[in-house]
C-alpha cells in the first residue's frame, strides 16, 4: 500500500539530529585525531577508521538528515580529500547556534540572512589573510638569515602579485619593466606547513612530486604536480617504514605470474591496453544479451572444444601475432586466459585504473580497446619496461611479487607504495596519503594558503564578534537597516568557531576543554583592532597548556588550504540552512501507520 506521511518538526528535530550526528566528528579533528573501530553486530565485521568521511560512510544512515550529510561529505571528499571533519563539526556547531537562535525567538529568515552575512565576513577574512605561495619558504630562509620578522605578502583581490617586494627585483636597478619569473615555492617548506602531523606520509608526497618534476625537464619552472598521475599500491605485511615512492606504476602479482615477470625483467615490452574484461562472456556496457535465442545443431560437438576454449585460442593467437608481452586491463581476466598467457610469457595485469590506462596510452602510443580481438599493430604500444620491484614470495598471502612498470618516454606516473603490518590500517593510511597529496595539489592550484594552527579561525572569530558588537549597538539605537537578532547570530557563529578551535586543542592532548576555551578567548580579546592580521596570533594548536611546560623545537609555520577551508565552511552552512528551513518530512510508501505520523 502506498501512503504518504508527514512528520511535523516544530521542535526542529532536524537541527538536533544534525548536531547529534556532528558529534562523531569531535575526535576526528586536527593532528591529534584518534582511530575508531566500527563493528557490525550482525556479521561481526569491523573496520578501523580515522576520518570523518569514512565513519559516515560506514554507518548506514537512513534518516533524511543523515542522507543529506552523507551526500554533502561525499561531494566534498571527491574533490578535496580532506576537511570532511571540519565540515561536519561546523555543521553541528552552527545547527546548535541556529537552535539557540530559534529559542531566542529569532525567525528563520533572519537567522539565514545573518548567517550568510557571517559567512561573507569569514570569506573576507580568508581573502585578506591568505598568503601567496609564490616564493614562500625561499624568503623564509632569507629572513631567517637577516633576523627580521617574516612577512607574508598579502594576496590582492585582483590577484596581482606585489613583486616589488621581491629581493630579486630590488637588485635589478636598470630596468623598469622586468617581469620576474614567478618564484617557485619551496615545496618542502610548503609540505612541512601542510603536513598537519602526518610528516611521514607528507614525505612520500614530496618524494612523488620530486620524482615527477625530475622527469618533466622541459618545464622545470613550474611544479607541475599532477595528482591524476599518482597511484597508490597497498602492501600488507611489511612495516610502515618500508613505504616509499617508485617511478612508474607498481602492481601486485600472483605466484604464477611472478615467473613471467622474472622472464620479462628489464626488457623492452609491447603493451596492449584493454578497457574491459578479458573473457569470452564479457560484452561492452550497453550490450543486451539475447534472452530468446536457442542454439540448434545437427551434429555433435566431437572436438570437445567449448566456446571459451575457442575464444582463448583466438585471443592468444592475436596477442602472439602482435608480439604483445604485457596487457593492462581495467577489468578482470578469466583464469584460462591468464594460464595461456603465462605459458607464452605474457603478463596480464588486472583492475588497472582508467586514469592509469590513459597515461599509458599517451606515453606509449597504445590505443585502449574493449576486446582483445580489436587489437591491431597500430593499437599496441611500445617502450614499456617492467622490473621486479620486490619479491614477496617469502611472505604469506596471495601476492608473490610487486612489479613496477614504467615507460621509456617518461609519463610522470609515480606510485606510492603504502605498507603496514596491520591490514585494517591500510585504508586509513591510503586516505591519509591522498589527503596530503591533495592538500599540496590545492595549495599549488590556489597559489595561496591560509595561516594554520587556528590562526585564521581566531581572526574570523575576532571579526565576527566585532561585527556582532556593531549590530548590537545599532539595534539598541533602533536603526532600521539592521535585522533584529543579527548580533546574536553572529556571536553564536563565532562561538561555533571557538568550539572548533578548542576541540582541536583538546585533541592534541595538551589542553583540557576549559583551558582550551579560555586560551582561545583570551587571544581573541588581546587583539587590538589595528594589528588584526593572522600573523599576530600565536599558533595555538602547537602550543602547550601554559600550565604544562614542554620542551619543543622552534615551531614550524603551519598552513591550511584556502579553497578547502572555504568550501567546507560554505557546505556546512548550506547543510544548516537546508535543514533549518525544513519543517516536515514527506515519507512515501509507508506500510503501516505509526503513532506519531500524520497520514495523508
Partner 1 sequence: MSRLVKKSPSVCTDLPLDNADIWNKLVLLRQLLTSCFGPTARLKQVHNNIGGHVVTTSASSVLLPAISSSQPFINLIKTSILNHVSRFSDCGLFAGIFCLALIEQAKQSGLRANVSIRVNRHLLALCTSYLQREDCGCKVNLDFCSSQNLITLARSIISSKPACVLTEPEILHISKLAVQAFLLTVPCTSPGTVSLGRVVTVPVEGHPVLNSAVFPGLLVDIPDGLCLSSADHLCSSLNMVLFSASLAGDLSELGDGIIEVHQGVDTESQILDQLLELGKQVVKDEVKLFMCQKVIHPVLQQYLRSHGIIVVERLGITLMEPLTELTGAQPVAALHSVIPAKAYGKVKDLSIRQFGSKTMLHLHPVGESAICTMILCHRNETMLSELKVVCQKTEHVLRLTLREPSALLGGGCTESHLAAHVRHQTKNEVSEMVSALQCSHTEYLHGVEAFCFSLESVARALEHDGGNSLIDLTHAHHWTLPAGIMKEHMEDSLCSCGCGLVQSSPCRKWTYLNTKYAEFPPAPLLRENTVHPRVLDSFTAKLNALQVAVETANLALEVRYIIQDVN
Query: Under the phi-then-psi rule, with left for phi > 0, alpha for psi from -120 to 50, and beta for the rest, what region is 242?
Result: alpha
Q: Does 531 sit near partner 1 (CB under 8 A)?
A: no
| Contact yes or no for 240/420 (Cβ under 8 A) | yes
| Rounded-to-integer distance, Cα 360 and Cα 338, Å | 21
Nearer to partner 1, 216 or 370 (CB): 370
Shortest spacing between CB 518 and partner 1, in angstroms = 36
Could you tell me which residues come within 8 angstroms of residue 59 by beta carbon, excluding any fewer than 6 positions away? Answer: 24, 38, 66
Q: Which stretch binds partner 1 (CB under 8 A): 91-99, 335-343, 396-404, 576-584?
A: 576-584
Q: Does 108 sit near partner 1 (CB under 8 A)?
A: yes
Of 245, 270, 246, 265, nearest in space to 386 by CA? 265
Q: Does 598 sit near partner 1 (CB under 8 A)?
A: yes
Nearer to partner 1, 188 or 563 (CB): 563
Q: Does 297 sit near partner 1 (CB under 8 A)?
A: yes
Grid cell, residue 367, equals 590505443
Phi, psi of 37 (to 5 degrees): -100, 135
Of 434, 431, 508, 574, nearest in space to 54 by CA? 431
| Contact yes or no for 125/463 (Cβ under 8 A) | yes
* Residue from 318, 322, 334, 590 in contact with partner 1 (CB under 8 A): 590
Q: Does 331 sit near partner 1 (CB under 8 A)?
A: no
Nearer to partner 1, 550 or 600 (CB): 600
* Residue from 369, 470, 472, 556 in contact with partner 1 (CB under 8 A): 369
State the number of binding residues for partner 1 (CB under 8 A): 73
**Region 539-568 residues binding partner 1, contact defined as CB under 8 A:** 567
C-alpha to C-alpha distances, 329 to 259, 268, 340, 395, 586, nearest whole angstrom: 19, 19, 16, 26, 46
Nearer to partner 1, 217 or 294 (CB): 294
* Bridge partners, residue 576, by sequence: none
- Binding flags for partner 1, 5-24, as an x/- string (CB under 8 A): xx-------x----------
Q: Does 71 sit near partner 1 (CB under 8 A)?
A: yes
Q: Does 42 sit near partner 1 (CB under 8 A)?
A: no
* Residue from 3, 237, 365, 544 in contact with partner 1 (CB under 8 A): 3
| Contact yes or no for 97/106 (Cβ under 8 A) | no
Q: Does 116 sit near partner 1 (CB under 8 A)?
A: yes
Q: Does 466 sit near partner 1 (CB under 8 A)?
A: no
**Region 425-464 residues binding partner 1, contact defined as CB under 8 A:** none
**Region 301-320 residues binding partner 1, contact defined as CB under 8 A:** 301
Q: Does 370 sit near partner 1 (CB under 8 A)?
A: yes
| Rounded-to-integer distance, Cα 320 and Cα 525, Å | 76
Dihedral over Cα of 220, 223, 228, 234: its sign: positive
Nearer to partner 1, 546 or 589 (CB): 589
* Residue from 160, 164, 221, 295 in contact with partner 1 (CB under 8 A): 295
Amino acid at each position: 500500500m502506498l501512503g504518504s506521511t508527514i512528520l511535523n518538526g516544530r521542535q526542529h528535530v532536524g537541527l538536533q539530529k544534525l548536531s547529534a550526528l556532528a558529534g562523531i566528528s569531535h575526535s576526528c579533528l586536527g593532528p591529534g585525531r584518534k582511530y575508531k573501530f566500527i563493528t557490525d553486530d550482525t556479521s561481526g565485521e569491523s573496520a578501523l577508521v580515522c576520518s570523518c568521511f569514512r565513519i559516515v560512510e560506514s554507518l548506514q544512515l537512513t534518516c533524511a538528515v543523515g542522507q543529506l550529510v552523507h551526500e554533502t561529505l561525499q561531494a566534498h571528499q571527491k574533490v578535496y580529500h580532506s576537511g570532511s571533519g571540519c565540515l561536519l563539526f561546523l555543521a553541528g556547531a552552527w545547527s546548535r547556534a541556529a537552535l539557540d537562535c530559534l529559542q531566542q525567538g529569532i525567525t528563520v529568515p533572519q537567522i539565514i540572512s545573518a548567517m550568510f552575512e557571517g559567512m561573507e565576513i569569514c570569506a573576507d577574512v580568508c581573502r585578506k589573510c591568505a598568503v601567496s605561495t609564490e616564493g614562500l619558504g625561499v624568503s623564509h630562509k632569507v629572513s631567517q638569515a637577516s633576523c627580521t620578522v617574516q612577512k607574508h605578502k598579502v594576496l590582492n583581490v585582483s590577484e596581482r602579485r606585489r613583486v616589488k617586494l621581491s629581493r630579486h627585483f630590488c637588485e635589478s636597478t636598470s630596468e623598469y619593466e622586468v617581469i620576474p619569473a614567478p618564484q617557485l615555492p619551496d615545496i618542502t617548506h610548503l609540505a612541512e606547513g601542510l603536513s598537519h602531523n602526518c610528516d611521514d606520509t607528507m614525505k612520500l608526497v614530496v618524494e612523488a612530486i620530486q620524482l615527477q618534476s625530475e622527469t618533466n625537464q622541459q618545464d622545470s619552472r613550474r611544479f607541475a604536480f599532477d595528482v591524476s598521475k599518482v597511484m597508490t599500491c597497498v602492501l600488507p605485511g611489511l612495516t610502515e617504514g618500508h613505504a616509499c615512492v617508485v617511478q612508474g606504476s607498481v602492481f601486485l602479482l600472483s605466484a604464477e605470474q611472478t615467473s613471467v615477470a622474472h622472464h620479462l625483467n628489464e626488457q623492452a615490452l609491447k603493451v596492449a591496453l584493454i578497457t574491459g574484461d578479458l573473457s569470452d562472456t564479457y560484452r561492452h556496457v550497453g550490450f543486451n544479451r539475447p534472452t530468446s535465442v536457442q542454439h540448434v545443431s545437427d551434429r555433435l560437438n566431437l572436438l570437445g572444444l567449448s566456446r571459451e576454449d575457442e575464444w582463448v585460442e583466438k585471443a592468444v593467437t592475436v596477442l602472439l601475432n602482435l608480439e604483445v608481452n604485457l596487457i593492462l586491463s581495467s577489468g578482470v581476466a578469466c583464469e584460462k586466459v591468464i594460464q595461456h598467457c603465462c605459458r607464452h610469457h605474457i603478463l596480464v595485469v588486472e583492475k588497472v585504473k582508467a586514469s592509469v590506462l590513459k597515461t599509458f596510452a599517451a606515453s606509449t602510443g597504445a590505443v585502449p580497446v574493449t576486446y582483445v580481438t580489436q587489437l591491431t599493430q597500430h593499437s599496441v604500444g611500445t617502450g614499456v619496461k617492467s622490473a621486479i620491484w620486490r619479491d614477496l614470495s617469502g611472505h604469506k598471502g596471495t601476492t608473490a611479487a610487486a612489479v613496477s612498470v614504467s615507460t621509456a618516454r617518461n609519463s610522470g606516473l609515480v606510485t606510492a607504495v603504502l605498507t603496514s603490518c596491520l591490514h585494517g590500517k591500510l585504508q586509513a593510511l591510503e586516505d591519509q596519503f591522498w589527503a596530503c597529496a591533495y592538500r599540496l595539489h590545492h595549495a599549488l592550484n590556489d597559489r595561496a594558503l591560509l595561516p594554520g594552527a587556528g590562526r585564521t579561525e581566531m581572526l574570523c572569530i575576532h571579526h565576527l564578534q566585532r561585527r556582532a558588537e556593531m549590530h548590537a549597538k545599532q539595534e539598541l539605537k533602533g536603526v532600521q537597516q539592521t535585522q533584529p537578532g543579527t548580533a546574536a547570530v553572529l556571536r553564536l557563529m563565532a562561538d561555533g568557531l571557538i568550539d572548533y578551535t578548542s576541540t582541536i586543542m583538546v585533541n592534541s592532548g595538551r589542553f583540557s576543554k576549559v583551558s582550551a576555551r579560555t586560551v582561545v578567548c583570551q587571544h581573541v580579546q588581546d587583539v587590538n583592532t589595528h594589528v588584526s592580521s593572522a600573523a599576530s596570533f600565536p599558533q595555538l594548536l602547537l602550543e602547550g597548556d601554559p600550565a604544562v611546560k614542554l620542551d619543543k623545537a622552534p615551531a614550524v609555520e603551519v598552513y591550511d588550504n584556502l579553497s578547502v577551508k572555504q568550501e567546507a565552511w560554505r557546505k556546512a552552512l548550506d547543510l544548516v540552512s537546508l535543514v533549518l528551513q525544513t519543517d516536515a518530512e514527506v515519507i512515501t510508501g509507508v506500510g503501516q501507520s505509526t503513532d506519531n505520523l500524520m497520514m495523508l
